[in-house]
Structure 1
Amino acid sequence: MSAQWIDWIVFGIYLASVFAFGLYMSRREESSSDFFLAGRGLPWYAIALSLFASNISSGSLVALAGDAYRFGMAVSTLEWGAIVCLSLLVFVFLPYYRSSFVFTTPEFLEKRYGPTARMLFATTAIAVELWVYMPYMFYAGGLFLESLFGLPFAWSVIGIAVFVGIYTTIGGLGAVVWTDVIQGVLMIAGGLTVTALALAEIGGWTAFCEQVPEEHMSVCLPGDHPAYPFPATMIGGYLMVSIYYWCQNQTIVQRTLAARSEWDSRMAAVGACFVKLLLPFVLVLPGVLAVVLLPNLGTGAEADKVLPKLIETVVPTGLMGLIMAAMIASLMSSADSGLNSLATIITNDFYHRWLDKSATESRLILVGRIASVAVLICAVTRALTMQKNESLMQFLQVGLAYVAAPIIVVFLGGLFWRGATSVGAVATLLAAPLVCFFSQHGQEKIATWWPTHMVYWLPIAVGILATLLVAVSLCTQRKSAADLEGLIWTRKTALAKSEHHSGIKDYRLWAVLALALMAAQIWWLR
């Protein structure tokens, strides 16, 4: 497909604006807190849009639309699960992250369990980001540009990486978050535009409902469904992956740590819940609309190209520049976030913690920038060597499952049980790869009745690891009550009311409303 000159002008202006803004933000970096946490001065609405934009990469756009084409609106359960997990972030984890004044989630784990647990988590986080998450984003972005514009896959990946790397490496988290605000709004506008144009092409909502297969409009798929069995998708393995992603993943938590107050950090997560309520109609519905407009794509890897093909079918000349910018925005917002968060972990959890404890602020910023470049090179190399996968979304979820299982066990165990010990946490983290492997391949290694889908085997892995944490902790020395002060969950801290934000500004009121609206959506699409 070839865009018209006006579309390329719009697209070029957008890229130039993002680049200029990144350079402008780089003038503000005077300390490591400025570079990695934007000086802890970000407002809630900026963080809320950044949380959304960081989560929805072009990989997510491609993968969600692809799975929606295969399986229907049931893919929305991933977005609803995120609302549940963001609520957990608000009421369980955030108060303790904020009060600990940490830069990274591995750093918090050291306060609870000690340096070995921190090092293991940091190493695991880096490995999964470099091997799974960031390559997945670049791969999907290259696939998108190749499908939509016929650009060479390799050059698409490299070009995007170079552009993102420049403004992220120079500007730090401040540049990342504020560009995410622009890109988040652009993504929502682009998604709504594609949805509206596709509906108009079909003849409206009524005509669409008459033509689409009935099962594609239901979220309550049978328990033996191969991809999205309900309600296991809401309470099983997908939920556990989401707990890790939204509550312990550095990319997400780092933004809330950069808020100017605890109320802003909590309200940002609640605000992201309301954005998530839009996504079934912005990101999932286009894939289902394509079932009517493009019925012959099949259910294999070709289905992951449904979004660019739908755009090619329904978007007229003149709007293509907006859609091009929205799609590239989705890639850049996630890539810059992953890049900055990994640089933060490498700099603070390895370099500053182990190699140079007396490093100056300027040295830490320099190391962060060097780490960003190194991460970018590794992620691009991995993306260029990835093989085409049957489902990009399934690839991502299974990859994250291996790190999610042990991390949610040690974090939840550490917050809710005083008896969890350092030795128990380390044993859990070390045993996790083997436990997850046998849980995933249990039908081959253990018994034919063993469940094969992640929504079932991941809870089994979590149960085994939780048992291990308890067993080892009961046999080893726990920390004193004084050492655990401020690190154990209490109802008073979790539900604390902000003195200056009562009534309509009470984050608790909005959190409950978001959950109620989520339940209403599920009931409507049951």
Structure 2
Amino acid sequence: MTLSFLDWTIIIAYMVASLLIGVYFTKRASSSVSEFFLSGRNLPWWLAGTSMVATTFSSDTPLYVTGLVRGYGIYENWQWWCFIMSGMMAVFFFARLWRRLGVLTDVELIELRYSGRSAAILRGFKAIYFSVAIHTIIKAQVVLAMAKILDVSLGWGKWESIFISSAVTIAYSMLSGYWGVVTTDFFQFIIAMLGAIILCFVSVDRAGGISVLKAAVSQEMLSFFPPVDGGFMGIAFMTFLGYVGLSWWSKYSSDGGGVIVQRMASCKDERHSLIATFYFNVANYALRTWPWVLAALASIVLYPAVKDHEAVYPQMMVDLLPSGLRGLMLASFFAAFMSTLSTYLNLSSAYFVNDFYRPFVKKEATEKHYISVSRMATLILSIITGIVTYHVTSIIGVFKFLIAFGSGTGLVYITRWFWWRVNAWSEISAMISSTVMTIIAYKYLMFADSQYYTKLALVISVSTVIWVTVTLLTKPSDKERLIEFYKRTAPGGPGWRPVERLIAGPSQGNTLSDALIEWIYGSLFLIGLTLSIGKVLLGYYLSGFIWLALALVTGGLLYKRLSREKWLFAT
């Protein structure tokens, strides 16, 4: 693709603006570790929530969704739509708890919740595990997508794409820390969504409009739920059950996850934390989904013979958009890419400095020293990511592997908040067993050729049996640590009854039954809203209004319940 002077002007202007924001916040971010990683815990809900959306909207996301729709159909989006339920669980169960805890990272929770040497070892190990292993895989997935886009659009090789696309992001992440990340996230999200909407309109129009598109694409691919022609034991339906029955609660970020927790913790207070997380989920699923899905459906009509489904999305940009819009679209890819990469670079260095270097290597250094180490960690972790990216080939494959890789740990991360008996050895055994079982399921024995849902069920079931057994065979955390944690977070529920008796009274926070009802209403509301928008856009008005009715009813019930909580609607 040949870019015009106007295209290059738009792209360069965007890059310069991102870098200038980094320079602007350098002094403020350098004042303390809290400023560098959490913006001084003073973010309003709309900025924190938009940053959450921007972070999860990367350059790989439209390619990933295009691959799902072209390879299977709309229904395969349940691979990530299932996380609506964990997203709403984060809103009503965990947003307030994380903000009350006042941590800098989610890994810091470990030594506030558990006691003894095992807790210290676990914290240090997880800091390296997430910053070097898990986050490197995530960042490699993101950089790979941008490399594919630049290969299709500009003909750049993999190494030069990795270097050029990452350079500006690394620079402003090192300079401005979290302040630069969340501020650039805000305008990056606007640019990224604008680009997605423009390509959606143009591609659907070139395909002949919605009516032509519906006639050309099979009904199975247009379905929002998997086919059951082969019975309820068919692969498509069983995979769907694996997503909605297992994936959402078993993933390693089931209680919020690092990047979301970082934004919860950076909010002004509990109210802003809860509203930010709710807003994020609505924007993430109901609003972001459909420009990508419609463009993917149009690509089936326009490019029926292309085998690399993930490469079709940037190819449409090259073939369909005129000068000016090409530059804007490519800038939107850079915006989506940079928002995610900068977030994971910042959080990875936070894990390294806050949860490994500071507590175990150099405890009594100055804030300036820790910020310098944070910047150096950002650079080194970026180099590692570039090397790993060069050896990765499939975006969907990486996503599925990540879900399975952490699937044995999700339940223990939820349970640690609501059962006093969970200890550091519970998490250690869950992590080890999950890792071992994932390797076995994907590489060895008879499981290597099994369906995805079979592998997922295997990893979860074996890991859960192991960590629950280890929990019951090992000592709980010290009473003093449990009491301190309970007073600080007030999680409530029957799992803390022994601790409540020690402090002569139950928690004053919301009950688990309140959170459970709000979670059910919230999940149904968001599922109804997401599917209703899609149905209406595709011209299925009757079913669209039925899903909308579900959203309105459950949304109304949710609002009625939440309106009792005066603090939530205070100005």
TM-score (norm 2): 0.82
**CA distance in structure 1 between the aligned counterparts of 2:238 and 2:208, rounded to whole angstroms:** 29
The amino acid of 2:299's aligned partner reads A
Task: Give per-residue Cα distances to partners, 1:178-211, cap 9 Å, x unaligned.
Answer: 1011011111111111111111112221111111
* 1: CA distance, partners of 2:138 / 2:301: 31
Indicate the SS of the match to 1:247.
Answer: coil
Aligned residue number for residue 232 of structure 1: 242
> Kindly tell me: are residues 344 and 328 of structure 1, through their superposed partners in 2, closer, same or farther at Cα, counting changes over 3 Å?
same
Confirm or deny that 1:294 pairs with 2:292. no
Gaps in structure 1 of 5+ consecutive residues: 497-505
> Matched residue pairs, number?
504
How far is the alpha carbon of 1:5 from its aligned partner? Answer: 1.3
After TM superposition, the structure 1 = structure 2 runs for residues 507-522 of structure 1, keeping only pairs within 5 Å, are 513-518=525-530, 520=532
- Whether contact under 8 Å (2:213, 2:301) holds in the other structure is yes
Which of 182-191 and 473-482 deviates more? Answer: 473-482
SS in 1 for 2:417: helix
Amino acid at match of 1:474: L
Alpha-carbon offset, residue 350 of structure 1: 0.7
SS in 1 for 2:400: helix
Among residues 489, 492, 500, which one is paired with 1:490 in the alignment?
492
Is the Cα–Cα contact under 8 Å of residues 199 and 289 in structure 1 kept in the other structure?
A: yes
Shift, 1:490, TM fit: 2.0
Deviation per residue, 1:189-245 (Å, 9 max, x gap): 1111111111111222111111112111113224534699323322233x246x434
Residue deviations 1:122-169 (CA, integer Å, cap 9, x gap):
232124335411112112111111111212321111012211110010
* Higher relative contact order, chain-length normalized (CA < 8 Å, sep 6+): 1
> What is the match of residue 55 of structure 2?
54
Counterpart of 1:405 in structure 2 is: 408
1:481 deviates by 4.9
Is 2:363 the partner of 1:357?
A: yes
1:370 aligns with 2:376: yes
Residue identity matched to 1:4: S
Whichever residue aligns with residue 77 of structure 2, its letter is: S
Mapping of 1:123-272 within 5 angstroms? Answer: 123-222=128-227, 224-225=234-235, 229-237=239-247, 239-240=248-249, 243-245=251-253, 247-272=255-280
Cα deviation, residue 380, structure 1: 0.9
Q: Does 1:285 align with 2:294?
A: yes
| AA partner of residue 334 (structure 1) | T
**Matched residue, 1:17:** 17
Structure 1 92/121 Cα, relative in aligned 2: closer, same or farther at 3 Å? farther
Q: Is the 8 A contact 1:74 1:221 kept in 2?
A: yes
The Cα shift of 1:332 comes to 0.6
Please say if residues 25 and 179 of structure 2, whose CA atoms lie closer than 8 Å, have aligned partners that are also in contact: yes
Deviations 1:15-50 (A, max 9, x none): 111111111111212111000101111111111111
C-alpha spacing 1:54/1:495, structure 2 compared with 1 (3 Å): farther
Q: Deviations over 1:316-372 (max 9, x none)?
A: 223112111101111111110110010000001111110111122111111111110
Deviation per CA, 1:91-145, whole angstroms, max 9, x where unpaired?
A: 2222222222111111112222322222232232124335411112112111111
Residues 404 and 459, structure 2, Cα contact 8 Å, conserved in 1: no
> In the alignment, which residue of structure 2 is the partner of 1:85?
86
* Letter of the structure 2 residue corresponding to residue 412 of structure 1: I
Aligned 1:298-377 pairs, distance under 5 A: 298=307, 302-377=308-383
Q: Distance in 1 between matches of 2:237 and 2:22?
A: 40
- Assess if the C-alpha contact under 8 Å between 1:440 and 1:458 holds in 2: no
Per-residue deviation, 1:423? 2.8
Give the whole-Å Cα distance in 1 for the aligned partners of 2:106 and 2:407: 13
SS at match of 1:295: coil
Task: Look up the equivalent residue of 1:278 and give its one-letter code.
Answer: L
Task: Go from structure 1 to structure 2 and tell me whether the alpha carbon gap of 1:513 and 1:24 turns closer, same or farther (over 3 Å shift).
Answer: same
Query: Is the alpha carbon distance of 1:35 and 1:509 closer, same or farther for their aligned partners in structure 2, counting shifts above 3 Å?
Result: farther
3-state SS of 1:358 partner? coil
**Which string of whole-angstrom CA distances, capped at 9 and with x for unpartnered residues, describes residues 402-451 of structure 1?**
13422x1331221222222333332232333222223445xx6257xx98
The Cα of 1:285 is off from its aligned counterpart by 2.4
Q: CA RMSD in A?
A: 2.7
State which of 426, 434, 439 in structure 1 corresponds to 2:436.
434
Number of the residue aligned with 1:382 = 388
- Deviation (angstroms), 1:289: 1.4
Instruction: Kindly indicate whether residue 445 of structure 2 is the aligned counterpart of residue 445 of structure 1.
Output: yes
Letter in 1 for 2:240: F
Q: Give the share of equivalent positions with the same residue, in percent.
A: 21
Larger Rg: 2
Counterpart-to-counterpart distance in 1, 2:299 and 2:237: 19
Match of 2:477 in 1: 479
Instruction: Give distance in 1, aligned partners of 2:313 and 2:305.
Output: 14
The 2-side partners of 1:378 and 1:254 are apart by 23
Structure 2 regions of 5+ residues with no counterpart? 228-232, 494-507, 513-517, 536-542, 548-571
Q: Could you tell me how far apart the structure 1 residues matched to 2:403 and 2:238 are?
A: 17
Q: Counterpart in 1 of 2:397?
A: 394
Partner of 2:556: none
Offset, 1:472: 1.7
Paired position in structure 2 for 1:502: none
Structure 1 CA distance for aligned equivalents of residues 34 and 273 of structure 2: 16
Contact 1:39 1:258 in 2 (8 A): yes
What TM-score results when the alignment is normalised by the length of structure 1? 0.89
